[in-house]
Amino acid sequence: MKNLPVLDLSIIALYLLAMILVGVYFSRKNKSADQYTKASGKIPGWAIGISLYATFLSSNTFLGVPGKTFGSNWNVFVFSISMPFAAWVAAKYFVPFYRSTGEVSAYTNLEKRFGTWARTYAVTCFLLTQLVRMGSIFFGISLTLQALTGYSMEMIMLVTGVCIVVYTVMGGMEAVIWTEVFQGILITVGALIIVYLLVSNMPGGVSKIVEIGNNDNKFSLGSLSLDFTTSTFWVILLYGFFINLNNFGMDQNYVQRYHTAASAKEASKSVWLCVWIYAPASLIFFIIGTCLYAYYQVHPELIEPVKLQAAAERLGAGASSFDISSLAAILKPSDYGDKVMPYFMVTMIPAGIVGLILSGILSAAMSTISSGMNASATVFSEDIYKRFYKSDINEKQNMRLLHLATIVFGLLGMGCGIAMIGVKSILDIWWELSGIFAGGMLGLFLLGIISRKTGNLEAFAATVIGILVVVWASLSYMIPDDYAYLRNPLHANMVIVIGTLAIFLTGTILTKIKSLAK
């Protein structure tokens, strides 16, 4: 692959500099922890909604969804279809609940409800989820920029990571939200430009893309059979509902934004605005994946460098050109899907426009990572440091703690990104790991909200059982073949579903048993 022209590199450099200057601008306002974490509750609902949209629309969407669609079909779009159902629950119950507590942390109430252990467990799950998410996004953006610039993935993560850390530490939540508003618009425009270029360069235009897509079943949303062992329509719908319920109801990234709104009504509006923008906008990325597939079906010779690169990476150093060519000839589209978008960008998009689109991808990555860093730092400050070490710290000490924690979580996110180098699909690794960490956390939260009679002991027992179920569901593939009947037969995306239900139903049953025993 050829490297980026100086013009495109200059545009990217200017964008990174602009983000740092945004942090400098907002740093003048950050004189208190309330301003740093909640923007003093003065952000309009529409801006929060676009900010939530930008958080959803990470570089995992920009790169992972077209790559996944190129290698399979539109099955993953069912995730977007599930969002309105979760949003309804969030707007009706979760947002008013959090606004009424006044607590900036999403997990303080769990301690009031069940005890210290519940808060600690939820905080641990959240922080692990954030590290995985930041790592997957660092990995995705470095994979793209490596293909386009030739620099190592580690170097790219370091440079982009430093820029993100600087503007997040200096700017706080207000800088995060307003830059996400700009970033959400920029990445959407970039995606539309790619669609236009693909269609205009495609012989036969839209009709040919639709013809190839129909012939190869590229528009399928998955099987409608009640099969939960493969990625059917129902598996993705259930996964999407539960993970979005976790996002809107338990994820500090979202809960913290509810407190930046002027009122509960504005906060609820922001949830619905996020959904109504994200659902159709995400469709653009599925269209891109299908267009890429059709384009390279018409021009199969143009995709050969990508297949050779994927084969070389699989075989490793020292592989012969014959072995690489032989493997490349039998690779399936799913084996190199994540590499296709960067390749198209550098080979088919004019200089200057590539820089703008890459800035859009960078903006999506930066918005999600900066949001995760700020939320993780807030949780560390409120739920760990102040709770277990020292609660009576002054404003200056609190700000210093938040700044330091933001830096540490940014560095840990980069470390996770480096550890992910070599994974096959960005989207798959993120979905699988987030489902593992989020399952128990959501189940415990729902138990506390819905089952008001459940006590500390029942909740603790239910959580232990739920954790065991999640561990079994996630790791049972390691069981030897002689005991294959003990493995989890369900699809990996069902982990969050069975983990959540295991905790909620066990806690409810134990509560019923306790009440009958009295």
Burial of 240 per CB tally in 10 Å (0-12, 13-18, 19+)? buried
Distance CA 454, CA 511 (A): 5
**Res 75: pLDDT:** 92
Residue 156 lies in a domain: yes
Helix, strand, or coil (residue 397):
helix
432: in domain: no
pLDDT value of position 81: 93
For residue 172 the two structure tokens come to 């706080």
Backbone angles phi, psi at 43, to 5 degrees: -90, 130
Residues forming a β-bridge with 261: 43
Amino acid at 239: Y
* pTM assigned to the model: 0.81
Q: Look up residue 89 and give its amino acid.
A: V
Q: How far apart are CA 27 and CA 173, in angstroms?
A: 10
In a domain, 235, yes or no: yes
| In-domain check, residue 401 | yes
Nearest residue to 413 (alpha-carbon basis) of 168, 172, 158 = 158
Q: Does some domain include residue 314?
A: no
The predicted structure's pLDDT at residue 58: 67
Phi-psi region of 349 (alpha: psi -120 to 50; beta: other; left: phi over 0): beta
Tokens 């050779």 sit on residue: 308
The answer to whether 259 touches 33, Cβ cutoff 8 Å, is no
Which amino acid would we find at residue 405? A
Asked if residues 164 and 18 have their Cβ atoms less than 8 Å apart, the reply is no
Decide if 140 is inside a domain. yes
- In contact, 83 and 244? CB cutoff 8 Å: yes
Q: What pLDDT, on the 0 to 100 scale, is given for residue 417?
A: 81
In the beta sheet, which residues pair with residue 43? Answer: 261
Q: Could you write out the three-class secondary structure of 114-125? A: HCHHHHHHHHHH
24 forms bridges with which residues in the sheet?
none
Q: What sign for the dihedral angle of Cα 28, 33, 37, 40?
A: negative
Domain for residue 46, yes or no?
A: yes
- Give how many domains the chain has, as a whole number: 1
Contacts of 276 (CB under 8 A, 6+ apart): none
Strand, coil or helix: 43: strand
Answer positive or negative: Cα dihedral of 374, 377, 378, 383: positive
**pLDDT given at position 235:** 93
Residues of the chain falling short of pLDDT 70: 1-4, 27-41, 58-60, 147-148, 364, 422-440, 518
The domain in which residue 412 lies consists of 7-299+343-422
Nearest to 180 by CA among 26, 12, 53: 53
The pLDDT score that the predictor gives to residue 1 is 44
Whether 71 and 332 have beta carbons less than 8 Å apart is answered as yes
- 237 located within any domain: yes
Residue 287's contacts (CB-CB under 8 Å, 6 or more residues apart) are: 195
What is the C-alpha to C-alpha distance for residues 63 and 59, in angstroms, rounded to an integer?
Answer: 6
Nearest alpha-carbon partner for 87 in 202, 258, 229, 307: 258
Q: Is 459 exposed, middle or buried (0-12, 13-18, 19+ CB in 10 A)?
A: buried
Q: What sign for the dihedral angle of Cα 387, 393, 398, 402? A: negative
Judge contact between 342 and 143, C-beta under 8 A.
yes
Report the CATH number that the domain containing residue 16 is assigned in CATH.
Answer: 1.20.1730.10
